[in-house]
Chains A and B, each alone.
Chain A
Amino acid sequence: MEKRESMWDVYLRKGMSRRSFLKGCVTLTSLMGLSTASLSKVVEAAETKPLPVVIWIHGHECTGCDESFIRSASPLASDVVLNDIALEYDHLLSAACGEPFEAHLEQTIQKYRGQYILAVEGAVSTKDNGIYCMSGGHTFTSMLQHAAEHAAAVIAYGTCAAYGGIQAAKPNPTGSSGIAHFVGRAPVVNVPGCPPIPEVMTGVVMHVALFGTLPPLDSENRPKQFYGNRIHDTCYRRPFFDAGMFAERFDDAGAKAGWCLYKLGCRGPETYNSCGNIRWYQGMSYPIQSGAPCIGCSNAHFWDEDPMSQRMPEYGPLGNVDKIGAGLAAVTTLGVVAHGAASVVQRNKREEEE
């Protein structure tokens, strides 16, 4: 096999300076959530490790995750794609198309057996043998199974690949589900979010690329460094929550003043993501900061947990559980009072008979 380039080799070939290489490594180190002490390890890996081969396939989805990915600022998505990884196949970003392109996928799988990283966006459509999501004459399911069979690791980008996503919303006509059951024995990293934060996407692939291991994962196979905190616990509006200062409506003074959106159904208390600390667009903002309650887009089933602008589900004219509960409590009270009255009547009758 020919010698494969490392990240440093790419920098040398392109005539880029050692300084810019080291700056890139510093960025990557902080992005992966590692301490500065790990910098030397990152530099060493970037100098010696061949660029990881990545195959990036797309299933049942909207490609919004790629829209997010190409907006990654540090590292730049273009740097990741052109200098930091060897992206051999990507449905969306590749210039090539048609049969030669499909043949190249097969070649890549055979050539880098057991070495490549498989990045997957989009859900698997399981109903009717998977005909609702086809690519190059094959179902996405079979393509995924084939590509995952020889993958070193699988990264599930987006809530679709992790949990099924919006197309899995009731009644889920296409039988969409996450990819976990279709990748065989390959280890899976879930990177949920609709879409995930750009820097989280690049951070995860770079971790796998540089260290050749998966980042530390939580019980749902999410990287701990990005999904280890609730948005609620990292939210800059949290002091308003603790102080009891809430926006009651989208157009009231509280909303204008930037108070907590909890009463408007914010899912921050139930959602694990980095929106509160990394934020979006180079740390400019995130939904809550712009006045929109979190909808919990990195949670499984978030699509069925409506209404998004209220804390609890409503059951038509019955209202939410607090109304139903109070109603049931009233009915129960009336019931026991009636039962009590009937019991007294029964007892009096019994005593008369005696």
Chain B
Amino acid sequence: MKEVTRREYYLFSPWLRIFHWIMVACIVTLFATGLMITSPWIIFSFEPTTSGMTVDNIRNIHFLAAYIFCAAFVLRIYGFITNPGDRLFPHVWKGYFYENTVDVALHYMFLKKEHASYLRNPLARCSYAFLYVLVFVEVLTGFGMYYMTNPSGIGGALFGWVITILGGEYMAHLVHHYVAWAIILFAIGHLYMVIRAEFMEGESEVSSMFSGSKILAHEPRDAGHLDGTLD
């Protein structure tokens, strides 16, 4: 038995946590139904019309999940405004951010025995920004294709330019599909990194997305973000 003194840091607001799990459910749904829209499965080899999971229904589930996802983003924004712990932008405009990134990267490449303690690891911050870019591309191309059933409507006016920029709707379909795979690759990496943090440091990385708190053994370098002493 080992005795370790740990300190609890309350980090993630309920808004961020609820948003996170809605995002997980939506991305899984969107990815699965997306694959089924591209290459429809014959789920039941007998009469397709009686199966219930017709392409029509699958598309409706896809669109519903997309709308829920976009609507849930309001929670993310609210959390971002009200709770400093929810602010996960990579601080690329700060000198110490690069120093910390190198510190973490060297450890992940096994060139350093361990990295310093962080509430929000700088590489993780980068990966979330990257994920938001991917998601943003999906939203734009998705609504572009969705609303162009009526190019003269307000949705067509809001998102039609995406199709024009990409040089056609076929390209929009491909970009949407390829970026979906990139999000899945991110998810695998993300899942691994949080589990790894759990078994390497035992810092309640996984449970923090349920409880909102991280329990650290060392003083984290970015603790000042929470009380505003470090900006």
Interface size, B (range) = 35 or more
- List, in ascending order, chain B residues with CB within 8 A of A241's CB: 55-56
CB atoms of A262 and B40 under 8 A apart? yes
Measured between alpha carbons, how far is A218 from B161 in the docked complex, in Å? 11
By a CB distance below 8 angstroms, the chain A residues around B220 are none
- Residue A299 at the chain B interface, CB threshold 8 Å: yes
CB neighbours (8 Å) of A299 from chain B are: 168-170
Binds B, one of A131-139, A177-185, A305-313: A305-313
A219 contacts the other chain (CB 8 A):
yes
> Quick check: A224 and B152 within 8 Å, CB to CB?
yes
Please tell me the number of chain A residues within 8 Å of chain B, measured between CB atoms.
47
Per-residue interface assignment for chain A, residues 290 to 334, with 1 indicating a CB less than 8 Å from any chain B CB and 0 otherwise: 000000100111100100000111000000011011001100110
**From B40, B48, B178, B192, contact of A336 by CB (8 A):** B192
- Bound complex: CA of A328 vs CA of B161, how far in Å? 31
Q: With a CB–CB cut-off of 8 A, which chain B residues contact A346? A: 110, 113
Closest chain-A Cβ to B225's Cβ sits at a distance in Å of: 26
Is there contact, CB below 8 Å, between A328 and B185? Answer: yes
Interface residues in B22-70 by Cβ distance below 8 A to A read: 35, 38-40, 42-43, 48-49, 51, 53-56
Asked if B92 CB lies within 8 Å of chain A CBs, one says no
At the interface, yes or no: B91 with Cβ under 8 Å from chain A?
no
A346 vs B110: C-alpha distance in the bound complex, in angstroms? Answer: 8
Whether B164 pairs with A220 at a CB distance below 8 angstroms is: yes
| CA of A350 to CA of B112, assembled, Å | 11
Given the known A-B contacts A243-B54, A300-B168, A336-B192, are A322 and B174 also in contact in the complex, defined by CB atoms under 8 Å?
Answer: no
Check if A49 is an interface residue, CB within 8 A of chain B.
Answer: no
Residues in B whose Cβ lies below 8 Å from that of A343 = 110, 196, 200
Contact A322 B51 (CB under 8 A): no
Residues of A with C-beta under 8 A to B110? 342-343, 346
Q: Is there contact, CB below 8 Å, between A305 and B170?
A: yes
Contacts of B172 in A (CB 8 A): 270
Considering the complex of A and B, which 4 residue pairs feature the smallest CB-CB distances, nearest first? A325-B181, A242-B56, A336-B192, A270-B169
Which residues of B line the A interface, CB within 8 A? 35, 38-40, 42-43, 48-49, 51, 53-56, 108, 110, 113-114, 148-149, 151-152, 160-161, 164, 167-174, 177-178, 181, 184-185, 188-189, 192, 195-196, 199-200
Q: A244-B49, A302-B170, A329-B188 are in contact. List 8 more A-B contacts (CB 8 A).
A: A219-B151, A230-B149, A311-B38, A312-B177, A325-B185, A340-B192, A344-B199, A346-B113
